[in-house]
Every structure is written in structure tokens, then in C-alpha cells.
Amino acid sequence: MTADSFSFEYASESFLSTSVLPGVRPAPATESAIRVDVVDAVSPEFIEALSGDLGRHDGLLVGRSIDEATFVFDRNERVLELEYANGLTESRQAQVLLDWVVPYVLTELGQLVLHATAVNIDGAAWGFCGMSGRGKSTLAVSLAQSGYPLVADDTFVLDAHRTSVLPSHPSARLNNDSMRAVVDQDAVAASEKALLGDLELPFWETALPFGGVFLLEPAGEISIDSATAANVPDLLEQTYVLPGKGIANALDEVVALIEADSVHTLTYPRDYDVLPHVIETVERFAHLRSDGSS
């Protein structure tokens, strides 16, 4: 490891980056670490091969997010080449890498990744999955404040056997309203989500048995129900999908989770005043499941 490199761990994978990631906890480098080379420009041949956000070129995974970044991942060589768009702050660069690029890298390595947060309840990982704005991080941070360590923020990673959940990086992001309501603290900037580091919240750092996933529904009365085939499209939309046969594989994975009764719909009012009641409902449900009573 050179003086200007930065090593971190994400979902049991070790990464070694040529740029420092502000707000991310460093970890010892390993010989098998995925090398993250931040470059001025990714080769044009990779960009020309793309017809959408994701594609393949000579067996390599290529991704591009306009105004954010372009990446090329070589699974065999375990090398990730990354070009950031001009004007991104260091904080935003870290967020793009951790919340967009790395999840696709993990998917390429055979893990199932959902756009979800997760907490440790009774020794199992429970995730909150759903569209932006439905309260994933708010629920997870509220539970963390109640003593349930945060396992993942934004990326819920199931191992190759789909029995364990692998922790992501120790941080959580909340918008201004949630920050004030949940932690009684103003966000740093009105235009960005605020980052809560590992001094403010408890984080879990090792793999946990998979408890289940709560799929967040549109606002309504508090209720938890088993997901059905009708929920497949919503859950699939929150799954990281690779080009090629990835959509078929992801569909099979989502259907299997629902058929195993591992996915539950969670409906609740978007009202911070009732948040404690929502947390109590989630706690009670998870406790019953861990006891085998539900």
C-alpha cells in the first residue's frame, strides 16, 4: 500500500483505492483487494461500446452515469478503473463509488444486492427496501438509535448462498427533515443529505443471518404483510441488475425471496409523530420471527 492509497472494506470485499474517501473508515489492505484506479479518462473504446448505463466490452463490465462517473471492472484481474465527472466534490465521489459503482461490482462477483438499508435485530439482518423518499434510512437510523446496530445503508448485500447479509461501509445519510426529526440535528447543507459517521451510531461489522426484507409501500395505516407475486416488479426495481442475462437471474432471485416468505410489505404514515409506533411494530414483528412465532 502506497502513501497516497486508501484501503477500505465493503461487504467482506477489500478495496484499495488510489484516492482517499472522506467519511469512510479505513481498513487493512489484503493481497486479494480489488484495486480501484481513479483515472483522468477511461478509454473511449469502452464508452463507444455502451448503448445504455451498463454494458460489456471484451468480457469487462462497463458503466456510465452522466455527470457522475464512468467505470470499467475486470473481474478476473480484480481491477476497477474509475473516471469521475468534472466538478464532483470528494464527498460526492465517495458516495458515487460506494452507492453506485461498488454494488454493481459486488453483483458481478455473484452477490445479490438490493437498494436497501439494514439493521441487526436479534442477531439477524433486517432490510428496508423501496423507492427513494419512502424512509429507508430514517427507519434504520431510528432503530439504530434504539440499540439495533446499522448493518448497511443503501446497499443490502446477500452472500452467494443467500443466507447471510454482508455489512457495507459504516455511514448513513439522511435528508434535512429526517435529520432534524430523528437525531435532532440540522443537516450540513440544505442541498445535500447529511452523513452520520460511526461516532453517532452503532454499526455492525460482521456477516449476519438473513432475517428478511421490508418492502416499503406508499403511505397508509401501519401494517406488515407477506409479500406476494404482485410485489415482484417493485422488488426487482430495487435490485441491482447486470446486462445480458442479469434480468432473468435477478427475477429468479426476487421470486425465490418472496416464495420463501423473506419479504414483507410495510405500510405506514409519512408522519414523524408516529415514527415511534412504526419502530415498535417492526421490532415486535422481527422478535416474533426470530422466536419462530410468526
Note the helical H segments in 68-173: 90-96, 102-108, 136-145
Torsion 164-254-285-201 (CA) sign: positive
Note the helical H segments in the chain: 44-48, 90-96, 102-108, 136-145, 176-183, 232-237, 246-259, 275-291
For 26, the 3-state DSSP assignment is coil
pLDDT at 97: 93
How far is Cα 182 from Cα 272, in angstroms, rounded to an integer? 8
Global pTM?
0.86
Domains annotated on the chain, with CATH: 6-109 (no CATH), 114-291 (3.40.50)
pLDDT tens digits for the chain (294 residues)?
A: 455 689 999 998 999 998 888 778 888 889 999 999 999 999 888 888 787 899 998 889 999 998 899 999 999 999 999 999 999 988 889 889 998 999 999 999 999 999 999 999 999 999 999 887 788 888 988 898 889 999 988 889 999 899 999 998 776 665 555 545 555 544 444 434 444 444 467 889 899 999 999 999 998 999 999 999 999 999 999 999 998 878 999 999 999 999 999 999 999 998 888 999 999 999 999 999 987 755
pLDDT at 131: 86
How far is Cα 70 from Cα 46, in angstroms, rounded to an integer? 9
pLDDT at 109: 94
Q: Which residues, other chains included, contact 196 with Cβ-Cβ below 8 Å and sequence gap of 6+?
A: 141, 171, 172, 173, 174, 183
pLDDT at 200: 66
For 45, the 3-state DSSP assignment is helix
pLDDT at 145: 86
The DSSP 8-state label assigned to residue 124 in this structure reads E
Q: Which residues, other chains included, contact 229 with Cβ-Cβ below 8 Å and sequence gap of 6+?
A: 255, 258
pLDDT at 195: 45
